[in-house]
Amino acid sequence: MIDIKAVLMDRGFFRAVTVDILYRYGIPFIIRVIRTKRINKFLEEFKENKRTWYVYVYEINKTAYGKSDRRVIQIKTTLVILDNSMVEKMPAEKYDDDRYFIFITNLPVFSQEIAFQIARDFR
């Protein structure tokens, strides 16, 4: 028997249809997000408040490319943003676009320790 902690998926799976299936079958997941306008608004708020990590309620209702899914599915999920420079304990200047690790998940993210561990596991 195999015990799967979570299915890790890249940005190509950042779609409402995919998330809907994962929720329906109770599959734990972590999906990296594509930086859409909505995601960038969350990221700007994160930066403005100088956070290390933060959890948001996020409603996914579009595909990764900004077009509505044919089934017009809207799923509430958890969006997590964290500062990779804090996870890896490296100077922020060493990062370009990858400084912030942003993902959606159905796993409970109650603490900085859990958020950082998910980032490490994803790598």
**What is the C-alpha separation between 123 and 105, in angstroms, rounded?**
15
pLDDT at 64: 46
- Using an 8 Å Cβ cutoff, are 93 and 74 in contact? no
Report yes or no: 11 and 32 within 8 Å, Cβ to Cβ: yes
Residues 85 and 69: their CA atoms lie apart, in Å, by 35
Residue 22 has pLDDT above 90, yes or no: yes
What's the pLDDT at 97?
A: 66
Q: What pTM value is reported for the model?
A: 0.85
Task: Work out the pLDDT band at 70, boundaries 50, 70, 90.
Answer: low
Closest by CA to 103, choosing from 94, 116, 92, 113, is 116
Q: Which residue has the higher pLDDT, 113 or 91?
A: 113
**Amino acid at site 45:** E
